[in-house]
Amino acid sequence: MKAAILHQGRVRVGEFPDPSPERGQVVVRTHRCALCASDAHFMHSGHHVVERSQKSNGPYAGIDLSRPIVMGHEYVGEVMDYGPGSKRPLPKGTLVTSVPAVRSGSSFGIVGYYPDCPGGYGEYMLLDEDLLLEVPAGVDLELAALIEPLAVGIEHARAGEAKPTDIPLVLGCGAIGLSVIAALRLQGIAPIVAADPDPGRRLLAIQMGAELALDPQEQALYQPLAKLNNKTVNLVYECVGKKGILSNIIDELAPHGRIVMGGYCLEPEEIYVPTAQNKYLRIYFAGGETPDDMAAARDAIVEGRVDLKPWLGEGIGLAQVEESLLSMADPAEPIRRVVDPSRL
């Protein structure tokens, strides 16, 4: 199959072996796959991710970076065939997405990161039949590719256990932060405060449902907010992923506040624990989405309760994957570009 292949820190279009399903696995023809900033990080820092995961027996511990990898974990595709002895829960031709994980015996791989689990930057993927999520026929394929990132936001938002009396602050208005805002609104939580130094991202935050979108370089975020009747934020969603932010939140957040860490920081973080203890702060390190989160995200997109069209830039083919990944850190770029693997 044709794919955009990661090898030795570069992504190049080439031929990759067609995946062959085992029992419980399904081959899916990829229709669309959204580009994620975590893939850009993995291009250059994948060895750090694998090394740290090996120390903690984490999910990336078994990745062999000496082998070519087809990334891409925000996908929608069409069921082609199952491995022998599979249950075959959905007929061929069904449009599907899934949590990006595949089981093989007693082990599993992460779709888009394990060499034997090619992701959506290729023409075909290997998925787990028990994790398939049907997507209605006729849905906008580019929006369907955004089910997974919205599901991550739903998990993160849920982790904060937001109540109607809370005033959430979402730090960082990239895909994770914007999806957290959308998910909080789905829960009926308001008002929501967002913070990002880029005016375009702040506008997107308002479109996703934030009442206030502030520039953290110009506005004190943890003081009483005049536009919210002098209320103070008490629930912080960290969606930036840079060293030092958690420490700053701990220093600035009022006592009994809650913090959800959703940003993906690859550097060690230092915090002064007594400050967090003296304030009785609660910190939750958010993880990946569950199948239920995926279903909730699908329904919200299909039913029009969340409009992610403002996220989308111009669609691309395989040859543009590397350039598009490398440009994702530029806030002037769209939140998501979506690749059609049938295009070069």
- Render pLDDT for 33-67 as a digit per residue (tens, 0 to 9): 999 999 998 998 888 889 988 988 888 988 999 99
Looking at the structure, tell me whether residues 73 and 123 fall in a common domain: yes
**Could you tell me if residue 221 is inside a domain?**
yes
Looking at the structure, tell me whether residues 110 and 226 fall in a common domain: no
**Could you tell me if residue 300 is inside a domain?**
no
What is the distance between the alpha carbons of residues 305 and 222, in angstroms, rounded to a whole number?
30
Looking at the structure, tell me whether residues 316 and 274 fall in a common domain: no
**Could you tell me if residue 297 is inside a domain?**
no
> Measuring CA to CA, which residue among 54, 230, 233, 262 is closest to residue 153?
262
Looking at the structure, tell me whether residues 164 and 274 fall in a common domain: yes
Q: Are strands 10-15 and 2-7 parallel, antiparallel or unpaired?
A: antiparallel
Looking at the structure, tell me whether residues 166 and 221 fall in a common domain: yes
The helix/strand/coil state of 66 is: coil
Looking at the structure, tell me whether residues 108 and 225 fall in a common domain: no
- Residue 57 has a pLDDT of 87
- Residue 268 has a pLDDT of 87
Looking at the structure, tell me whether residues 110 and 159 fall in a common domain: no
- Residue 45 has a pLDDT of 86
Q: Is 112 left (phi over 0), alpha (psi -120 to 50) or beta?
A: left
Counting as low any pLDDT under 50, the low residues of the chain are none
The helix/strand/coil state of 170 is: strand
> Measuring CA to CA, which residue among 322, 315, 295 is closest to residue 132?
295
Read off the CATH number of the domain in which 197 is found. 3.40.50.720
CA distances to 44, 60, 91, 178, 195 from 322, rounded to whole Å, are 12, 22, 34, 24, 29
Q: How many structural domains compose the chain?
A: 2
What is the distance between the alpha carbons of residues 119 and 72, in angstroms, rounded to a whole number?
5
The helix/strand/coil state of 63 is: coil
Q: CA neighbours within 13 Å on the CB side: how many for 231?
A: 16
Looking at the structure, tell me whether residues 8 and 142 fall in a common domain: yes
Looking at the structure, tell me whether residues 192 and 271 fall in a common domain: yes
> Measuring CA to CA, which residue among 68, 70, 66, 88 is closest to residue 79?
88
Looking at the structure, tell me whether residues 23 and 100 fall in a common domain: yes
The helix/strand/coil state of 200 is: helix
What is the distance between the alpha carbons of residues 121 and 218, in angstroms, rounded to a whole number?
40
**Could you tell me if residue 186 is inside a domain?**
yes
For 35-51, b where at least 16 C-beta lie within 10 A, e where not — what string? Answer: bbbbbbbbbeebeebbe
- Residue 146 has a pLDDT of 98
pTM: 0.96
Report the amino acid identity of residue 62.
Answer: G
Query: Which structural domain, as residue segments, surrounds residue 86?
Result: 2-146+312-339
Query: Helix 199-208 to helix 175-186 angle, to the nearest 10 degrees?
Result: 20
